[in-house]
């Protein structure tokens, strides 16, 4: 059994103005945010990607620990779901059940990946929670990603989570609302574009996520958000340029920058509809000076504050 992460770091003082995240972790109730790690790259392995994302959760925790607080924060760490035996489907179900439990406590889950196979577990958890408690409400998925992850395969992989999500929606006669931001033409085959179109997905290519075209992108995002009640937001770190996020399973030749992400994410966050948030594909094995894990921690920080 893996050793639980120990939250520690620099301490400048114990009064409010000195506090860092590690000093308040697991300390205050009622809890607003709950972290859960998903230590898996089994989906990446099945998808023939480069391995190492399994170590992502603790790498992100390490970078998150020392970040400063500018207002009170009630946050806890619920530990990590591991996929050690190759049984991805069981690990995904375990994570989904954890998410249901967290949502039932009126807390917001933040999932630390791990390969992007985390996405089906995250969506399934929110889907099951909403189906049981608010069956008339509509879920929307916003995925920051260079790839659609709509692959058809014989088994679950890091490339199949949103097709799995679409099939789950179809099974229960629920709408599938999917918006993908940062799609790379060179990162997706024609069949993936065709699948996205057939499923009625919305997407904005990376080449259109530029400062001059930002107002149009924001308008599209707001229109999407207005049609749903709950949002599952997932960030695959390969949506960023490899110069910003080298430690991922599939580095991006182009990608978006953090300024564009901040603008788009601020709009999404302001809706107040984010119910589940996760970070995927943090791969310390290929990181450079912790650039990618620091970026992941920064993204979570943007969500927290």
Contact, 257 vs 244, CB < 8 A? yes
Q: Tell me whether residue 194 is annotated as binding.
A: no
Kindly calculate the radius of gyration of the chain based on its CA atoms and give it in whole angstroms: 18
Could you tell me which residues are beta bridge partners of residue 175? none
Q: Tell me whether residue 84 is annotated as binding.
A: no
Per-residue 3-state assignment (H helix, E strand, C coil) for the chain:
CCCCCCCCCCCCCCCHHHCEHHHHCCCCCCCCEEEEEEECCHHHHHCCCCCCHHHHHHHHHHHHHCCECCCCCCEEEEEEEECCCCCHHHHHHHHHHHHHHHHHCCCEEEEEECCCCHHHHHHHHHHHHHHHHCCCCCEEEEEECCCCCCCCCCCCCCCCHHHHHHHHHHHCCCCCEEEEEEECHHHCCHHHHHHHHHCCCEEEEHHHCCHHHHHHHHHHHHHHHHCCCEEEEEEEHHHEECCCCCCCCCCECCCECHHHHHHHHHHHHHCCCEEEEEEECCCHHHCCCCHHHHHHHHHHHHHHC
Length of the chain in residues, anyone?
305
Q: Tell me whether residue 147 is annotated as binding.
A: yes
Rounded to whole angstroms, the maximal C-alpha distance in the chain is 56
Feature table: binding site for Mn(2+): 116, 145, 147, 149, 236, 238
Feature table: binding site: 116, 145, 147, 149, 236, 238
């Amino acid at each position: 059994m893996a050793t639980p992460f120990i939250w520690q770091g620099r301490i400048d003082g114990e009064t409010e103005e000195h506090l860092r995240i590690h000093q308040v972790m697991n300390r205050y109730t009622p809890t607003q945010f709950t972290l859960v790690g998903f230590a898996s790259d089994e989906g990446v392995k099945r998808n023939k990607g480069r391995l190492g994302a399994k170590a992502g959760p603790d790498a992100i925790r390490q970078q998150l620990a020392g970040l400063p607080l500018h207002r009170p924060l009630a946050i806890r760490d619920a530990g990590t779901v591991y996929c050690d035996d190759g049984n991805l489907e069981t690990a995904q179900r375990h994570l989904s059940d954890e998410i249901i439990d967290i949502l039932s406590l009126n807390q917001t889950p933040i999932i630390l990946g791990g390969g992007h196979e985390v996405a089906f577990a995250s969506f399934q958890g929110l889907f099951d929670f909403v189906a049981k408690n608010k069956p008339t409400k509509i879920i929307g998925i916003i995925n920051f990603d260079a790839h659609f992850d709509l692959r058809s395969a014989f088994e679950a992989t890091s490339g199949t989570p949103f097709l799995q999500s679409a099939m789950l929606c179809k099974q229960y006669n629920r709408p599938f609302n999917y918006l993908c931001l940062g799609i790379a033409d060179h990162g997706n085959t024609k069949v993936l574009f065709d699948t996205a179109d057939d499923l009625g997905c919305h997407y904005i290519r990376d080449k259109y996520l530029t400062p001059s075209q930002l107002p149009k992108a924001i308008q599209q995002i707001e229109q999407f958000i207005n049609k749903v009640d709950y949002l599952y937001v997932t960030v695959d770190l390969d949506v960023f340029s490899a110069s910003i996020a080298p430690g991922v399973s599939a580095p991006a030749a182009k990608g978006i920058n953090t300024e564009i992400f901040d603008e788009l994410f601020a709009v999404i966050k302001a809706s107040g509809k984010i119910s589940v948030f996760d970070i995927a594909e943090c791969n310390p094995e290929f990181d450079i000076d912790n650039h990618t894990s620091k970026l992941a921690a920064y993204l979570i920080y943007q969500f927290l504050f």
